[in-house]
């Protein structure tokens, strides 16, 4: 996307397959980082809201889960 983004073009992009993937990836990565913040500074309600949004934007996590499952099939559980 160009640097001259309009609200209309941003909404159109967010509704595309790539846009939904990017939103999904952003949610997943943000949750991972935010869950590492120690209490009492962890923003639990924001994390919960982001996890709720992942229901609408599951693509990145679904792909990561499939990759992880395939790697376990091929190489076994690396945590053993």
Query: Which pLDDT belongs to residue 77?
Result: 80
Closest by CA position to 56, among listed 21, 29, 30? 21
pLDDT along the chain (80 residues), means of 10: 85 96 96 96 97 96 93 82
Q: How far is it, in rounded angstroms, from Cα 62 to Cα 57?
A: 10
CA 27 → CA 12, 22, 24, 46, distances in Å?
19, 9, 5, 11
């Amino acid at each position: 996307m160009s640097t001259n983004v309009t609200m209309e073009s941003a909404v159109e992009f967010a509704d595309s397959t790539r846009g939904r993937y990017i939103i999904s990836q952003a949610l997943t990565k943000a949750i991972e980082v935010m869950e590492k913040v120690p209490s009492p500074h962890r923003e639990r309600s924001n994390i919960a809201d982001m996890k709720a949004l992942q229901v609408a934007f599951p693509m990145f996590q679904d792909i990561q889960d499939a990759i992880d499952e395939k790697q376990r099939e091929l190489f076994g559980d690396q945590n053993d």
